[in-house]
Structure 1
Amino acid sequence: MTIGKKPELLAPAGNLEKLKFAIHYGADAVYIGGKQFGLRAKAGNFSFEDMEEGVAFANKYGAKVYVAANIIAHNENLEGAHEYFKKLYDIGIAAVIVADPALISACRESAPNLEVHISTQASIANWRTVQFWKNQGIPRVVLAREVSLEEIKEMKEKVDIEIEAFVHGAMCISYSGRCVLSNHMTARDANRGGCAQSCRWNYDLFEDGTDGSVSISDRADEAYTMSSKDLSMVEHLPDLIHAGVDSLKIEGRMKSIHYVATVVNVYRKIIDTYFEDPANYQLDPEWVDEIWKAAQRSLTTAFYYNEPTEKDQLFGKPDRITKYDFAGLVLEYDEATQIATIQQRNSFKVGDEIEFFGPNFYHFKQTIKEIWNEHGEKMDIAKHPMMITKVKVDQPVRYYDMMRKSK
């Protein structure tokens, strides 16, 4: 079996803390947003100072930082673009992810050595469009989510270019980059960072042919009638590798630290395990179970194998998904006493069953038997945010391991 180089694992980072967790848990690169020109206006986003710290951290671990500047710009959005891209280059950003030709031009004029990737907002769904961007000197394109595996194979066969494709995360009800539902319903421009996610709202359903006065919502199992299931290729990653995908992208700059760490951890494990022995690779059911611990909706393979149907939408009764809280972060571990110093992130108490997990898919469960505060005083519950506690653990833990519990 002939396979190419190991693909990049690209993770979302909505703020500086998420960036550090993503890289610590195995991301080869992260994509972030700045204070301008990005599509996640409500994410934490990065100041230039945050970017400098993030790049320094990434460099320490041999990782890269990309900045999404992928709005569809109107005239008033173009001010300051030249200075912005020059600053990103000076900071050491590895590439910018852009959709608008005006912003591409601004980047090339002000920071000609800053690499440009074409965003999924450009809705790239055929090989001739890929060839167009290749002819413009673009080294990488981020495909629309609506592309199949067979289409990716054809793109790679016909065009020598890096391809980045989504492997996990939220799906849009609309074609990538072409939604105006938020604009229409809330006057918030989805293509300039203000998406209200109108498709995720709970809508009334009305009997067809009536004047809208006869609601049938009480007869429907589910009123989230436009909401897609989330993408997950965790069970099919070798197919994307064989198709020639160069960068495997996880969606979710607004997702939690627990989500980012869990999903990155699983995909890192799968990629590394596959490349250790491709011929004998087998999916471990534990990897799938772990993904469900971070899942917020039911999962689908979306467009990769066939056109989605109603089974790929959140119609009917939703799957029962056990939710998990990020309960604590390991700061220290004393091997002699088997006591871990934990920074509390969500309430936990004596008697709770919790699970520790860390990079390289390390994890174990135990029951909390005793808790001490930072002064060594016993306590029954750790309920104050960010408080420092000590907990006796059944197995060794390491700095930056996480503790979680089911809700």
Structure 2
Amino acid sequence: MGKPEILVTPTSVADIAPLIDAGADAFVIGEQRYGLRLAGEFSRTDVKEAIEIAHSKGKKVYVEMNAIFHNEMVEHLADYIRFLQDANADAIIFGDPAVLMVARETAPNMKLHWSTETTGTNWYTCNYWGRKGSKRAVLAREISMDACIEMKEHAEVEMEVQIHGMTTMFQSKRSLLGNYFEYQGKVMEIGNRKLEKDMFLYDKERGNKYPIFEDINGTHIMSPNDICMIDELLELVEAGIDSFKIDGLLKTPDYMIAVTKLYRKAIDLCVENPDQYEDEKDELLEKIEEIQPENRPLDTGFFFKETVY
């Protein structure tokens, strides 16, 4: 049984080395103008430095280019892809077919990971993009454990699954989407409305707070809970899922280091001593609960429940 990759999202170059020490195998970084919902902004200089640090330790760096690109951005894609090739990025994460087409022309040997957040829901679609040139498919966060395992059984590409962190509920290219809710009669109120950070939609009826994350790509409304699968990993590991993502969006570096250490231990136990993992998994969950922010309850996302549309 192979070990799945632990993929994390650093906030800055300074996070790379500590996260490697914590057990991370790979990193997702990028610039806001090309990537969606990045944990931190990485300039071209930062990207090069992050890749150099990671490669010196035998780790990988994937750069996000999964934004929704309009005409005015298309002309910039080739230059950025050439830069990533020269910087020795290990892969580009894309959703827009324009990235794939430009990459074929400018960097045909560049590894590509297909990620659209919501449409990786069946193996035919994943294999379709694989046959177009993608080496990995990032599965949607709304599918069940059984569906993930079934997709891996039929996959012609690597499979990546998010196992920890918040997920996206809604994205709009427009800024400050909360205005819409206020206009509709204040069904949801905006908390910290005048701040650039720490904004949220407050649903009084359900008692939920939905973080609002804004970047140059628009407004993103995030889940009120964080996924945590540290005590439910064994089936995914045994199924051969290739990469487990820990999303650090709106999380502190210290939190990410602590969580990465715990998942490193959990995954190593799943591979090397499954019985010991079963004995210790509850304790691992308790340790995450101890450091979890009070306003971010943990759950298992949609892994064990039906998605209701």
Indicate whether the TM-score tops 0.5. yes
Amino acid at match of 2:69: A
Tell me which residue corresponds to 1:27: 24
2:226 and 2:208 map into 1 onto residues whose CA distance is 17
Would you say 1:133 and 2:125 are equivalent positions?
no
Aligned with 1:185 (options 168, 173, 177): 177
Q: How many residues get paired?
A: 279
User: Structure 1 pair 27/299, CA: closer, same or farther in 2 (3 Å)?
Assistant: same
Secondary structure at 2:37's aligned position in 1?
coil
Map of 1:171 onto structure 2: 167
Q: Is the contact made by 1:302 and 1:308 (CA closer than 8 Å) also made in structure 2? A: no
Matched, 1:111 2:107: yes
8 Å CA contact 1:173–1:199 kept in 2: the answer is: no
What letter matches 1:306 in structure 2? K
Which one of the candidate residues 75, 79, 85 is aligned to 2:75? 79
Task: Please list, as runs of the form range in 1=range in 2, the aligned pairs for 1:142-221 lying within 5 A after superposition.
Answer: 142-174=138-170, 179-180=171-172, 185=177, 200-203=200-203
Q: Where does residue 89 of structure 1 map in the other structure?
A: 85
Unaligned regions of 5+ residues in structure 1, if any? 188-195, 204-216, 310-407
Secondary structure of residue in 1 paired with 2:20: helix
- Cα offset, 1:142, TM superposition: 0.5
Q: Give the letter for the 1:39 counterpart.
A: L
Contact 2:227 2:301 (C-alpha < 8 Å) held by counterparts: yes
Residue deviations 1:46-83, cap 9 Å, x none? 12221222112111211101111110111112231101
Deviations 1:239-287 (A, max 9, x none): 2112321100011244211111011110001111222223553242432
Change (3 A) 1:271 1:223: closer
TM-score between the two structures when normalised by the length of structure 1: 0.63
SS of the counterpart of 1:263? helix
Give the structure 1 partner of residue 303 of structure 2. 304
Partner of 2:16, secondary structure, is helix
**Gap change, CA 1:24 and 1:16, over 3 Å in 2:** same
The residue that corresponds to 2:209 in the other structure is 224
Map of 1:357-368 to 2, 5 A cutoff?
none
Distance 1:298 1:181, change over 3 A: farther
CA RMSD of aligned residues (A): 2.7
Which of the pair has more CA radius of gyration? 1
Mapped to 2, the partners of 1:72 and 1:269 lie a distance apart of 36
Aligned AA for 1:20?
A
- Return the alpha-carbon distance in structure 1 between the equivalents of residues 206 and 74 of structure 2: 46
In the alignment, the residues of structure 2 paired with residue 259 and residue 55 of structure 1 have an alpha-carbon distance, to the nearest angstrom, of: 22
Aligned pair in 2 of structure 1 residues 80, 227: CA closer, same or farther (>3 Å)?
A: closer
What percent identity do the matched residue pairs reach?
Answer: 36
Q: Distance in 2 between matches of 1:10 and 1:167?
A: 10
Contact 1:22–1:30 (CA under 8 A) maintained in structure 2: no
Question: Does 1:293 find its partner at 2:290?
Answer: yes
Task: Judge which range, 300-309 or 4-13, deviates more.
Answer: 300-309
8 Å CA contact 1:235–1:283 kept in 2: the answer is no
Q: CA deviation at 1:230?
A: 1.1
Equivalent position SS for 1:79: helix
Which structure carries more relative contact order (alpha carbon 8 Å, separation 6+)? 2
C-alpha change, 1:68 and 1:283, in structure 2 (3 Å) is: farther
- Partner Cα separation in structure 2 for residue 300 and residue 232 of structure 1: 6
Contact 1:200 1:227 in 2 (8 A): no
